[in-house]
Amino acid sequence: MSFAPALKDYIDGARWFGGKGRAWEVGGIRRVGTLPGSTPDLTVVVELVEIVYAEGEAELYQVPLALYPHREERLDHALVGMLDGDGGEVFAYDAVHDREAMALWLQAFAAAADGKVTADELAFHRVAGHDLDTEVHSTLFTGEQSNSSVAFGEDSLMKVFRKVTPGVNPDVSIHEVLTRAGSDHVAALYGWLDFIDEATDSTIQLAMLQQFLRTASDGWDLALSSVRDLFAEADLHAEEVGGDFAGESARLGRALAETHETLAANFPVSIRSAEEMSALGAAMRDRLTAAIDVVPALADHAEALRATYDELAGLADVPVQQIHGDLHLGQTLRTVKGWKIVDFEGEPAKPLAERLLPDSPWRDVAGMLRSFDYAPRAVTMTSFALDPGVGEEGQQAYRAVEWSERNARAFLESYAERELTATEQILLDAYIADKAVYEAVYEARNRPTWVGIPLDALERLTRGRTESA
């Protein structure tokens, strides 16, 4: 019996599968290794599944399997299907759901110490400086979407990459550099799992093991709490409310600045020529033109936005470096030791080669400033959806802008620690505008009632340009 139909059904229903709604078939299944410590009673393997879409595009997804000769009722929810084994059919379960299987991963990482151990084609790598606790149980995070994350007690966290691509995953390479450099602003990298893909003569990275920030608070959630505190105090300004977030925003700005400094010191820094900046400005103009077809209201801002992009296109000799690439409040964690920045994979929708390219640090800054704008509006939209009669729209809108501007200012002043140069302001304005245009298209397609958030931001941005002209 073919395993492919059962595997297809399982992948189709998985939260981490990015091809939902598209027609596809299993193009091939490749076993790249068996974990050390496997026995006839439990064999743990790593399968790579080729997803071939009806349009012809192909992707690789990782499905680690725990193979048991008998049914394991405790894993019924993770059953993928029946698979032909050496001794007959075996029950194949998604391994991340199985504590027994996850223990083999942890033991393999522990055996690597400061170096690597190999099993079949698999290579477990370790970074020195932390002794793993191999006696703890694993816990699968249920909220993960594009990947699968498994905590080992309170000691470590493993991220299993589901969609994999030949080449070095920036989440691994950047974490490794920042960890070895002693950065305080990331969860320390403990190790990673990869193999050499002979078909493409390149490395494919399958998982990373890092410090588990158990007591950390999500930056987005903290921002939303601050906004709710402000909205609950009808007569107070943002700086007068107990949940004022500006101090945290300032500390986050400094954390990002120091992270950018460490990245610049450990990765190549290059210069974008006048021709490259012209091409970047043209790409932003093209994205705007395409976006207007989806969100016609963007046409009201088109003239001012194109002027912004033209200023960017007129720059030359702009330094670029390794950056985060997809930064927002949801990519930050507040710990007792300060802010941590997470998920350095870049924008998942972009090809890996594009995500590895250097860019201006002002792109990360722009992403965070847009996140500060979203937080109060998200509270407003959610509150209105739950109770259309809540609050006074005009007053709440005013207070939302007040919160956003206060925190954006605190973040930016702490990040730069000086007045921005004319070139930096042009870069920042263009990246903010480009991000807001992207958001308008996203909201129009996914949450039409939210499209006013980026449109209002573009109104303020373009109005500011007009008033300063």
Integer-rounded Cα radius of gyration of the chain: 24
CA distances from 173 to 193, 200, 263, 300 (A): 12, 19, 11, 42
For residue 85, list its beta bridge partners.
Answer: 88
346 close to 323: Cβ distance less than 8 angstroms? no
Provide the pLDDT for residue 243.
76
Provide the pLDDT for residue 346.
87
452 close to 294: Cβ distance less than 8 angstroms? no
**Residue 88 pLDDT grade (very low, low, confident, very high; cuts 50, 70, 90):** confident
**Residue 170 pLDDT grade (very low, low, confident, very high; cuts 50, 70, 90):** very high
State how far the Cα of 195 lies from the Cα of 125, in Å rounded to an integer. 11
Q: Which residue has the higher pLDDT, 239 or 56?
A: 56
Block residue for tokens 């941590």:
340
344 has pLDDT over 90? yes
Tell me the pLDDT of the chain averaged across its residues.
92
**Residue 27 pLDDT grade (very low, low, confident, very high; cuts 50, 70, 90):** very high
CA distances from 65 to 86, 95, 195, 325 (A): 15, 5, 17, 32
Each residue's pLDDT tens digit, 379-388: 988 764 444 4
Q: Which residue has the higher pLDDT, 227 or 120?
A: 227
Q: Which residue has the higher pLDDT, 400 or 287?
A: 287
Alpha helix locations (H) across 216-322? 219-232, 246-266, 274-294, 302-313
Provide the pLDDT for residue 467.
58
Of the ranges 114-118, 123-127, 384-388, which is most confident? 123-127
Q: Which two tokens stand for residue 307?
A: 């002027």
Percent of the chain residues topping a pLDDT of 70:
94
Buried b (16+ CB within 10 A) or exposed e, 305-340: bbebbbbbbebeebebbbbbbbbbbbbbbbeeeebb
Each residue's pLDDT tens digit, 249-264: 999 999 999 999 999 9
Nearest CA to 68 out of 46, 93, 37 is that of: 93
What is the residue type of 426?
I
277 has pLDDT over 70? yes
DSSP 334-397: EETTEEEE--TT--TTS-HHHHTS-B-HHHHHHHHHHHHHHHHHHHHHHHHHH-TT-S-HHHHH
Burial class (CB in 10 A: 0-12, 13-18, 19+), 390: middle
- Report the SS3 class of residue 315: coil
State how far the Cα of 437 lies from the Cα of 441, in Å rounded to an integer. 7
Nearest CA to 258 out of 182, 319, 327 is that of: 182
Provide the pLDDT for residue 415.
98
223 has pLDDT over 70? yes
- Report the SS3 class of residue 41: coil
Long-range contacts of 193-198 (CB under 8 A, 24+ apart): 193/105, 193/108, 193/109, 193/122, 193/123, 193/124, 193/125, 194/122, 194/123, 194/125, 195/32, 195/33, 195/121, 195/122, 195/123, 196/121, 196/123, 197/166
51 close to 29: Cβ distance less than 8 angstroms? no
- Report the SS3 class of residue 52: strand
Provide the pLDDT for residue 464.
65
Residues in the chain: 469
Report the Cα 125 to chain-centroid distance in Å: 23
70 close to 50: Cβ distance less than 8 angstroms? no
Provide the pLDDT for residue 320.
98
Once rounded to an integer, what is the mean pLDDT over residues 273-279?
97
Of the ranges 71-75, 225-229, 462-466, which is most confident? 71-75
Nearest CA to 414 out of 213, 220, 268, 260 is that of: 260
Q: Which residue has the higher pLDDT, 259 or 118?
A: 259
Q: Which two tokens stand for residue 233?
A: 């105090």
Dihedral angle over CA of 234, 237, 241, 243, nearest 10: 100
Q: Which two tokens stand for residue 245?
A: 């977030």
Q: What separation, in Å, do the N-terminal and C-terminal C-alpha atoms of the chain show?
A: 71
- Report the SS3 class of residue 2: coil
Once rounded to an integer, what is the mean pLDDT over residues 369-397?
73
Task: Read off the pTM.
Answer: 0.89
Picking from 44-53, 83-92, 294-303, which range would have the lowest pLDDT averaged per residue?
Answer: 83-92
Dihedral angle over CA of 207, 212, 215, 216, nearest 10: -50
Once rounded to an integer, what is the mean pLDDT over residues 111-136?
87
233 has pLDDT over 90? no
State how far the Cα of 332 lies from the Cα of 219, in Å rounded to an integer. 5
391 has pLDDT over 50? no
Once rounded to an integer, what is the mean pLDDT over residues 445-456?
94
Q: Which residues contact 112 (CB under 8 A, 6 or more apart)?
A: 124, 125, 126, 191
Percent of the chain residues topping a pLDDT of 90:
79
**Residue 465 pLDDT grade (very low, low, confident, very high; cuts 50, 70, 90):** low
Each residue's pLDDT tens digit, 397-450: 788 889 999 999 999 999 999 999 999 999 999 999 999 999 999 999 999 999
Provide the pLDDT for residue 386.
40
Nearest CA to 326 out of 431, 201, 203 is that of: 431
